[in-house]
Amino acid sequence: MKSSELYQFGEEIAWTYAGEGVSRKVYGSDDQLMMVVVKFEAGAVGDLHEHPHSQVTYVESGAFEMTIGAEMKVIRKGDGYYIPPHVVHGCVCLEAGVLIDSFSPQRSDFL
Amino acid sequence: MKSSELYQFGEEIAWTYAGEGVSRKVYGSDDQLMMVVVKFEAGAVGDLHEHPHSQVTYVESGAFEMTIGAEMKVIRKGDGYYIPPHVVHGCVCLEAGVLIDSFSPQRSDFL
């Protein structure tokens, strides 16, 4: 199974542009699992989209108006969410912050 | 596929005892993926152990002396790591903090 290094040091990973006001860093991964850190400026939009991966997320900081399928909620530091495969989701960043996303299987489109 | 609710609100999830000075909250999950937030007091020990799940982790806060297989490193806020299935790992918490763990498949022993 192809995988990342065992350790990731945040300062050694470059931010990748992921849309206006949105950037990401890919952390640990193997074929079946991947962790990604996504930083949003206030007002940035994560466009509605869907993918075949399961996703779980933890809000490390900031505030977001999150939409998952038909359910919209405001989430803040310490909250989280689950995206089933192929369910449309997106967000608007209300206060600048960081989301910790994990996907299964890995997002090979991020490598 | 059995899964968690779509949204998790941190203040609504009780901490579960997970060893002396260690507690956890289970966030989003389905059969193939699970996110778990683990809080350590300074000096607390995550005993060496192994499991069949792949694991990726992000350090939300604090500092940890982490051992994965034969590799020991000190990791801090913004760092991360990857644990391949069945590789022995453990940590000592140097400064109180929080780890964001994800597992594939889910840790059914945590439900």
Would B75 be classed as within a structural domain?
yes
Would B16 be classed as within a structural domain?
no
Minimum distance, in Å, between the CA of residue A36 and any CA atom of chain B: 9
Would A45 be classed as within a structural domain?
yes
Mean pLDDT on A51-75: 98
Prediction ipTM score: 0.97
Structure-token match 């996703």, residue found: A55
Number of DSSP helices (H) and strands (E) in chain A, helices first: 0, 9
Q: Which residues of B60-96 are buried (b: 16+ CB within 10 A; e: fewer)?
A: bbbbbebbbeeeeeebbebbbbbbbeebebebbbbee
pLDDT at site A26: 98
CB of A56 within 8 Å of any CB in chain B? Answer: yes
Rounded Cα–Cα distance for residues B90 and B53 (Å): 15
Burial class (CB in 10 A: 0-12, 13-18, 19+), A49: exposed
Sign of the torsion angle spanned by Cα atoms B47, B55, B77, A59: negative
pLDDT at A96 exceeding the cut of 90: yes
Would B1 be classed as within a structural domain?
no
- Domain holding A59, by residue range, is 32-106
Q: What confidence tier does B7 reach under pLDDT thresholds 50, 70, 90?
A: very high
Residues of A in contact with B104 (CB under 8 A): 32-33, 104-105
pLDDT at A1 exceeding the cut of 90: no
pLDDT tens per residue across span B35-85 = 999 999 999 999 999 999 999 999 999 999 999 999 999 999 999 999 999
Would A56 be classed as within a structural domain?
yes
Residues of B in contact with A89 (CB under 8 A): none
Interchain pair A6, B68: CB under 8 A: yes
What is the domain count for chain A? Answer: 1
Q: Which residue of A has its CA nearest to B81?
A: A7
Residues of A in contact with B11 (CB under 8 A): 78
pLDDT at site B1: 77
Report the predicted TM-score, pTM, of the whole model to 2 decimal places. 0.97
Q: What confidence tier does B27 reach under pLDDT thresholds 50, 70, 90?
A: very high
pLDDT tens per residue across span B77-106 = 999 999 999 999 999 999 999 999 999 999
The strand ranges marked E within chain B are 7-8, 16-17, 22-30, 33-40, 45-49, 54-68, 71-76, 80-83, 89-104
Interchain pair B82, A28: CB under 8 A: yes
CB of A70 within 8 Å of any CB in chain B? Answer: no
Question: What does pLDDT average to over chain A?
Answer: 97
Would A21 be classed as within a structural domain?
no
Q: Which conformational region is residue B21 in: left (phi greater than 0), alpha (psi within -120 to 50 degrees), or beta?
A: left
Question: What does pLDDT average to over chain B?
Answer: 97
Report the CATH number at residue B93: 2.60.120.10
Interchain pair A103, B33: CB under 8 A: yes
pLDDT at site B55: 98
Question: How many Cβ atoms are within 10 Å of A69's Cβ, its own excluded?
Answer: 12
pLDDT at site A32: 97
pLDDT at A59 exceeding the cut of 80: yes
Would B13 be classed as within a structural domain?
no
Would B6 be classed as within a structural domain?
no
